[in-house]
């Protein structure tokens, strides 16, 4: 898929509002049901344990694979290791020839999708019939799954009835129950008729030599019972050590996939079981297909912990907007981005790698603790190395941002040049905005649906020099990492933060040598620029003596805390310094609440900010730093009433350059959801802790509802102080 066809697919998907509505309803319901399924359990502890189990399997995979094979063979199974999916298909085709087999009844198996199994069998003259309802629907439609667990989620009953009517040779009504009934009777014949039954495997248990199948419909039980030959298709990463490991997977998989405590069936099969008066012939085809290569990749190998629950799609704002046929290949959504790169090649994965908005929802919901977002970020670096990142970014990141003085001079120049298109706002919260761009061709994607933030006439770094901090006997001194949004777009936020801190007895220092956190470059895959920027800021903060470094942008916090040391790891001296700096950084709200215990102090002041506000959780604040209770506590104690919006922690659609340069159409849709949730609260102020979210939400509100303002928590705190 090249970039143009990806863009066309995006536009087509965006035109299909029904699909997006379906995926949103599903996603909302999923979150509620899932929470209930995990009630009383410690999800974090469970996923860490399962992640560790899968890591142990990775380390010992060769011995475990040998143990599995030995035990399976001892129980009468025939085991074949296929180095790729073609070998796996060939094995089954040759087996069928030997047996004189004409038909295969197959249950759901993702690796068989990867192998394009049905197509390969058809080419070999063998009829392979899907028996999972969703998969059968897709087989009749000639389509591929758009979700790991709910393959036909993109289709409606009218489409299904048309397909079934064609199969039946008579008209069937578009009613779900009779349609399911039709497939029940129709497919029953297939199990009895089939010469071979094919199933997947959710786990391969090394110390028993058995497989496990986690299912709801019961077709895998029929496929593994009625035909005389049973073929198991399984990726080698499905190995676990023992029964206990497998049972631990069954505790997380259904809960995270479909919010079930357990699926209707879990089926444990070892060896050649009795069959029609004799013994069944069982073949286990263990498929590598790029998995060994993925295991060797230190940066990406965690992806093989995956137990295929599909949850990373359920929570992904990009998936919800465009669906799995666009945001995915055989495997979809976050895990699909990674697996596509390894199983189908980086070229195929390139547009997918770029389409991730970086909100970290997938990482938060993963039942085996894969930091999917971070792996995608690493892949983006690879993609950029190989395919470049486009001229605009090349000039912006490489030529300009690395040179701090040039960068800041250009921003000043830009602030003057944008004059003709900038408007001083008239609405409640209005700031300087760009309502329309003069270039008509950019209008549709860029400013047609939201105002762009304008560059402030004076940056924070200039304003700070004139700030007078009247703090007698400060209780502590903190450094301030302002970030680009805070420096050049919303300098007033930093100013207000300094005033709030001063009022609470804290003095602020601002090292002028600091530069961009580097995340925009890094998220575009430009690691070199990222390194250079990290060194500049590390140096600036090493020169000042502070215990804490505050940030008003959670993406910067993540950049400094997590990425500086990682980026500089090959330069030990810098890495050491970066670690020290990284350990000091935290978001202003987190500092105020967790270090200063400001909400207690604010309560004691009895502040009277009576306004109602709603709070939007920034992706990187909640899922990057675990901060979400703090700003709410601060706002409440400063006299505001926080009225929660629906899905407050769902991405606003910003994603940095994602919404400006690469995927504005997808962003537009995600932002529209956010605006709707805000409007539904009937509150006129939305608070955030991130300049990026301010740009996105504020900009969209500017076009869609000027009566609502979007402000930083620090501004609201300053307002309640009257500073």
Contact positions with another protein (CB under 8 A) in 56-95 = 71, 74-76
Toward another protein, which CB reaches closer, 22 or 403?
22
* Footprint (CB under 8 A) of another protein, residues 130-169: 131-134, 137, 150-153, 155-157, 160
- Check residue 182 for interaction with another protein (CB under 8 A): no
Give CA–CA dist 219/50, Å, rounded.
Answer: 28
Residue 437 as a binder of another protein (CB under 8 A): the answer is no
Residue 320 within binding range of another protein, rule CB under 8 A = no
CB 283 within 8 Å of CB 95? yes
Pick the stretch among 179-187, 291-299, 332-340, 444-452 that binds another protein (CB under 8 A). 179-187
Whichever of 187 and 501 has its CB closer to another protein, that residue is 187
242 binds another protein (CB under 8 A): yes
**Closer residue to another protein, CB minimum distance, 201 or 568:** 201
Considering only residues 464 through 493, tell me which ones interact with another protein, judged by CB under 8 A.
none
For the CB of residue 277, give the shortest distance to another protein in the complex, in Å: 8
- Indicate the SS3 state at residue 189: helix
Q: Under the criterion CB under 8 A, does residue 197 sit at the interface with another protein?
A: no
User: β-strands 641-642, 612-615: how paired?
Assistant: parallel
Rule CB under 8 A: is residue 275 a binding residue for another protein? yes
285, β-bridge pairs: 80, 233
CA distance 152 to 147: 7
Nearer to another protein, 167 or 611 (CB): 167
* Two structure tokens written together for 417: 């040049």
The H or E element that residue 34 is part of is helix 17-37
The order of strands in the sheet holding 612-615 is 641-642, 612-615, 685-688, 709-712
State in angstroms the smallest separation of the CB of 325 from another protein.
17
Instruction: Give 223 or 337: the residue with its C-beta nearer to another protein.
Output: 223
Question: Which of residues 63, 176, 406, 475 is near another protein by CB under 8 A?
Answer: 176
CB of 36 to another protein, least distance (A): 11
The H or E element spanning position 287 is: strand 281-287
**Member of 8, 35, 48, 181 binding another protein (CB under 8 A):** 181
The least CB distance from residue 82 to another protein, in Å, is 23
219 touching another protein, by CB under 8 A = yes
Q: Which is nearer to another protein, 80 or 265 (CB)?
A: 265
Q: Give residue 357's Cα distance to chain centre.
A: 8
Q: Which stretch binds another protein (CB under 8 A): 57-65, 174-182, 679-687, 713-721?
A: 174-182
Binding mask 252-271 for another protein (x = CB under 8 A): ------x-xxxxxxxxxxxx
Pairing label, strands 476-481, 452-453: unpaired
| Residue number with CB closer to another protein (25 or 680) | 25
CB 206 within 8 A of CB 200: no
Cβ atoms of 511 and 538 closer than 8 Å = no
Stretch (H or E) spanning 233: strand 229-235
310: left (phi over 0), alpha (psi -120 to 50) or beta: left
What is the DSSP track for 303-337? GGG-----HHHHT-HHHHHH-TTTSBSSSBHHHHH
Instruction: Give min distance, CB of 218 to another protein, in A.
Output: 3
Please, are residues 341 and 304 in contact by the beta-carbon 8 Å criterion?
A: no
Q: Write out the binding residues for another protein, residues 6-25 only, by CB under 8 A.
A: 22
Rounded Cα distance between 631 and 592, Å, is 9
């Amino acid at each position: 898929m090249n970039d143009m066809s990806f863009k066309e697919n995006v536009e087509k998907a965006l035109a299909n509002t029904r699909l997006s509505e379906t995926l949103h309803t599903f996603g909302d319901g999923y979150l509620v049901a899932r929470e209930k399924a995990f009630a009383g359990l410690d999800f974090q502890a469970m996923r860490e344990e399962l992640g560790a189990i899968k890591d142990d399997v990775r380390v010992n995979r060769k011995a475990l694979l040998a143990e599995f094979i030995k035990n399976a063979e001892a129980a009468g199974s025939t085991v074949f290791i296929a180095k790729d999916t073609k070998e796996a298909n060939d094995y089954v085709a040759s087996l069928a020839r030997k047996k004189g087999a004409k038909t295969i009844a197959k249950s759901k198996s993702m690796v068989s999708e990867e192998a394009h199994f049905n197509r390969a069998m058809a080419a070999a003259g063998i009829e392979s019939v899907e028996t999972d309802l969703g998969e059968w629907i897709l087989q009749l439609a000639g389509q591929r799954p758009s979700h790991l667990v709910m393959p036909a989620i993109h289709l409606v009953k009218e489409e299904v009835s048309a397909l079934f009517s064609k199969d039946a040779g008579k008209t069937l009504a578009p009613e779900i129950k009779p349609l399911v009934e039709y497939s029940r009777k129709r497919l029953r014949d297939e199990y009895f008729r089939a010469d071979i039954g094919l199933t997947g495997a959710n786990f391969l248990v090394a110390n028993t030599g058995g497989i496990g199948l986690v299912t709801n419909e019961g077709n895998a039980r029929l496929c593994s019972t009625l035909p005389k030959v049973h073929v198991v298709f399984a990726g080698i990463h499905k190995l676990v050590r023992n029964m206990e490991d497998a049972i631990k997977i069954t505790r997380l998989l259904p809960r995270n996939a479909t919010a079930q405590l357990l699926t209707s069936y879990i089926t444990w099969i070892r060896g050649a079981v009795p069959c029609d008066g004799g013994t069944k012939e069982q073949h286990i085809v263990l498929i590598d297909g790029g998995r060994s290569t993925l295991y060797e990749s230190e940066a990406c190998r965690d992806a093989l912990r995956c137990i295929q629950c599909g949850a990373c799609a359920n929570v992904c704002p990009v998936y919800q907007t465009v669906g799995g046929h666009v945001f995915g290949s055989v495997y979809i959504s976050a895990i699909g981005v990674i697996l596509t790169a390894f199983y189908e090649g980086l070229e195929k994965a390139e547009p997918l790698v770029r389409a991730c908005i970086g909100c970290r929802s997938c990482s938060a919901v993963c039942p085996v603790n894969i930091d999917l977002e971070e792996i995608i970020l690493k892949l983006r670096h690879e993609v950029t190395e190989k395919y470049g990142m486009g001229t605009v970014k090349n000039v912006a990141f490489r030529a300009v941002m690395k040179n701090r003085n040039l960068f800041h001079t250009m921003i000043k120049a830009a602030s003057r040049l944008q004059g003709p298109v900038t408007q001083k706002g008239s609405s409640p919260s209005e700031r300087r905005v760009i309502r329309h761009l003069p270039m008509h061709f950019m209008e549709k994607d860029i400013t047609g649906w939201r105002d762009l933030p304008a560059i402030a006439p004076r940056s924070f770094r200039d304003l700070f020099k004139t700030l007078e901090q009247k703090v007698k006997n400060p209780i502590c001194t903190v450094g301030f990492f302002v970030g680009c949004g805070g420096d050049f777009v919303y300098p007033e936020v930093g100013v207000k933060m300094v005033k709030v801190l001063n009022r609470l007895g804290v003095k602020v220092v601002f090292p002028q040598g600091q530069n961009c956190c580097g995340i925009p470059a890094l998220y575009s895959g430009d690691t070199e620029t990222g390194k250079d920027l990290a060194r500049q800021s590390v140096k600036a903060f090493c020169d000042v003596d502070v215990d804490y470094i505050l940030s008003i942008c959670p993406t910067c916090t993540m950049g400094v805390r997590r990425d500086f040391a990682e980026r500089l790891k090959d330069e030990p001296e810098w890495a050491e310094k970066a670690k020290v700096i990284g350990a000091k950084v935290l978001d202003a709200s987190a500092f105020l609440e967790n270090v200063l215990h400001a909400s207690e102090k604010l309560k004691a002041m009895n502040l009277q900010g009576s306004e109602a506000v709603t709070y939007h959780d920034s992706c990187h604040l909640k899922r990057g730093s675990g901060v979400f209770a703090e700003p709410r506590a601060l706002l409440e104690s400063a006299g505001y009433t926080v009225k929660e919006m629906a899905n407050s922690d769902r991405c606003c659609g910003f994603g940095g350059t994602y919404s400006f340069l690469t995927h504005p159409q997808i962003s537009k849709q995600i932002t529209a959801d956010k605006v709707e949730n805000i409007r539904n609260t009937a509150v006129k102020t939305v608070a955030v802790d991130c300049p990026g979210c301010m740009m996105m939400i504020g900009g969209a509100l500017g076009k869609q509802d000027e009566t609502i303002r979007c402000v930083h928590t620090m501004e609201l705190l300053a307002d309640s102080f009257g500073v």
